[in-house]
Homo-oligomer: A and B are copies of this chain.
């Protein structure tokens, strides 16, 4: 596989032709796990035996001429709040750490049907909230991998698996993917099933994917989406939304990387324009936190009263915020949420492909937080699809990413745009060397 990133797009034709067997690819991933896992701690549980059995079976299928498609034999990690049959769904909980799932979540079943090898469960922050996880950033072990899909991002960055499922309620897919230097898709809200997934706040919860190229994201999304929608034409016209961020953001390193990326792609024919969002955007961040908190309080509240020790500080704060939120305030947020979704849908000007912003405020901060979701949580609130991909390295050798925000339900179109952008930018993706 060489020293470049392990992508599905590169591996699939080799698997189809028999040059690379699913078992050999799996063993390469397991060797990477042996090399990096002690320091990175990306996995809540591994299923080496089951993965080997599946890989052997999928290897035999290839020999018999039965090719399932581009995910055939691809090792995949699953965030530890998503059910995988007979593996633990620990949810970052002390009490639930040994809770075995009695069935696959539909999204996992879809991946299995497509030939994916489920390698294990990746570390989540406690209940998919903000408490720092054991996982460390593969590029700098003093830094956070981001959260809450911490293990998924770190595992893909290490090449421990070629893709991983994550979930996002605030910025839990885009942020860790960006901090770890891998590509990510948070689909339109509702386009991927949430069955068999621990809820945080169902109005905001999304299942999405991470991989080492945008093309890989499209292969994955085609497998897990609820219903297909094919992309339409591409305009190469981007609306720069950087200014929507709070004062002081993005940090200088990100601002510089984003500007350089904009200049480099403008030379390749991409047209950029600054854009301003509707006034209702001003309330989005606070309201997103309230929706997340009330959802978390609805699910966890009673249990939190009975088992406070099973809740670390950040999720405790979130639940308490939800428990103490007055109903009229929540009702106001719900009305804003409905209004904002309509306004943001109407805010896409004709003749432009999508919005573009930094994916994070800056490179991964120290490991005592999971970083700032300021650039991500508005899009969880909006329910719009987002794609992120690395565009640069910071001075301290950490990845920096861009984020595209697309029209509702047009995930495929956004992925086609991001793949073209990725090719034109020519940024060198990296996987950690073995």
Chain A interface residues (CB < 8 Å from chain B):
49-50, 53, 85-86, 89, 91, 95-96, 98-102, 198, 303, 306-307
Contacts and interface: CB of A to CB of B under 8 A. Distances in A.
Tallying the copies of this chain within the complex gives: 2
A172 to B, nearest CB: 18
8 contacts: A50-B306, A86-B95, A86-B303, A86-B306, A86-B307, A98-B98, A98-B99, A99-B101
A91 B99 CA distance: 12
A91 B101 CA distance: 12
Given A50-B306, A306-B49, A306-B50, A198 B102 contact: yes
Contact of A89 (B86, B89, B91, B102): B102
Contacts of A91: 102
Q: Would you call the interface of chain A mostly helix, strand, loop, or mixed? A: loop
A100 B53 CA distance: 27
Interface centre among A96, A100, A101, by most B CB within 10 Å? A100
The 6 closest A-B pairs by CB, nearest first: A99-B99, A98-B98, A99-B100, A96-B100, A86-B303, A102-B198
Contacts of A101: 99
A432 to B, nearest CB: 31
A306 B54 CA distance: 12
Contacts of A99: 98-102
A90 B262 CA distance: 56
A53 B303 CA distance: 12
Interface centre among A91, A96, A101, A102, by most B CB within 10 Å? A102
A306 B53 CA distance: 10
A45 to B, nearest CB: 13
A427 B281 CA distance: 72
